[in-house]
Structure 1
Amino acid sequence: MTKNLALSLALAGLFASTVHAQSTAQPKDKAGDGDARVAMCIGCHSIPGYQASFPQVYKVPMISGQGQKYIEAALQAYKKGDRKHPTMHSVAASLSDQDIAFVAAHYAQLAPSEAAPVPDTPAAAPADVAALLNKGACVSCHGANFSKPIDPSYPKVAGQYPDYLFASLKAYRTEHNASVGRNNAIMGGIVKQFSNAELKAIADYVGSLPGELHTVPQSRFR
């Protein structure tokens, strides 16, 4: 074997390895059909209005159109136990960091073709709710329309299911529970200022807003 031939073969092998690594880090298409990592999510997050029954009853969140960095951060939190949810922990724990990036990228770019643009500012909140939002400084992180967070690792929340938002807010102040709870110092400090009724009012308003979040049926659910 000549030196030139050996070098060509080595470069070809390196190129093939690079292409394979890139293909496993990003979705191959919008549907992600046949990928086992996405298949684990379809059974809950690709059925419109699907409702969880354990450990709490609420509609599972819409994640299509959610920010990629937020989805990654959420899955890492479930994996590490900073967010408590038995099913989500099992799913996230089975994923490598590269797998998590793949799933997050897939859902971040998944949206229905007829999705309408979200206004920069929503309709004004009722006075009592506006006071609660101001007290929690919610727009300072989630944006004036609750769909343009100031940091990509923060969630879009406009239009999310209100019952899920309510359960999530309560989870930030839940302690000593093996199945429910979220460890986040900022959100924990914020929600402790409010009663359950006030948190529900916030969740109902934010959930009523137009947003970029969707449930997009995939493959076997179409």
Structure 2
Amino acid sequence: MKNFLLTMSALAFTCAGTLSAQAQDINGDATAGAQKNALCTGCHGIQGYHIGFPEVHQVPKISGQGAGYIRAALHAYKAGERKHPSMRTLASSLSDQDIADLAAYYESNGTGVNLPAAAAEGSAKAAELLTKGGCTSCHGPNLSKPIDPSYPKIAGQHADYLYVALRSYKINDKPLIGRAHPVMGGIAKQFSSNELKVLADYVASLPSEMQTVQRSRFK
């Protein structure tokens, strides 16, 4: 498993570099991003908001998420490596500068909480699965300090979203769903759906820097 993770991590760094070599040179402006997020807040700016594709789940918390990951995710939607139709349509309308600005804006809106150095102890089954997947090797010992900016913080993310996202890495043959990622594809395929549910529930229970910032007119 250790050699597998090292090999896949190296491949991921290569892919991240080729995906965003030009985009990484663009500096994001959080103030500009705040003026460009009208479409984002329609889903990500309503606490408790659910969507129904590919199944019903809460939209992910993105305020406080790392800018590098938000950039990588939006570029993946734009390139079709992530197949969610509405996100691909939205990402396709964004320039590299727009993506950088939105990423900077959302990164700046975290909770500001001080997180523990390591994740809290969960059930024996959760601990076993976390070790099997090598989750802390990429996402950090508290699952909120990833080793590379293009990796996400996952601690405290919604459990139902995490479960759907993890399952999507196992799907390679559907035109509208699935995610192509060399590391996560290999890892997710080790687990059954029930095991992914256990992992998602545990990760969601952890303290988080992320939150959903409610749109002002919905407060």
Q: Normalising by structure 2, what TM-score?
A: 0.84
> 1:76 is matched by which residue type in structure 2?
H
Cα offsets for 1:19-65 (capped at 9, x unmatched): xxxxx951327x92xx2x31010110010111011232110000000
5+ long unaligned stretches in structure 2: 1-26
> 1:104 is matched by which residue type in structure 2?
A
Contact 2:66–2:152 (8 Å) recurs in 1: yes
Contact 2:28–2:103 (8 Å) recurs in 1: no
**Residue 88 (1) aligns with residue 91 (2):** no
Aligned match for 1:27, one of 26, 30, 33: 30
Q: Secondary structure of the equivalent of 2:127?
A: helix
Superposed displacement of residue 176, structure 1: 1.6
5+ long unaligned stretches in structure 1: 1-23
State, as a whole percentage, how many aligned pairs show the same letter: 53
Aligned structure 1 segments of 4 or more residues deviating by more than 4 angstroms: none
Superposed displacement of residue 188, structure 1: 0.5
RMSD: 1.6
Equivalences for residues 34-183 of structure 1 within 5 A: 35=35, 37-112=36-111, 115-183=112-180
Q: Normalising by structure 1, what TM-score?
A: 0.83
Cα offsets for 1:90-148 (capped at 9, x unmatched): 10000000000011001000135xx4311111221211111111111110000110000
Find the aligned partners of 1:103 and 1:116 in 2 and give their Cα distance: 22
Find the aligned partners of 1:171 and 1:145 in 2 and give their Cα distance: 23
Find the aligned partners of 1:25 and 1:185 in 2 and give their Cα distance: 27
For 1:7, the equivalent position in structure 2 comes to none
Computing the radius of gyration from Cα coordinates, the structure with the larger value is 1
Q: Secondary structure of the equivalent of 1:153?
A: coil
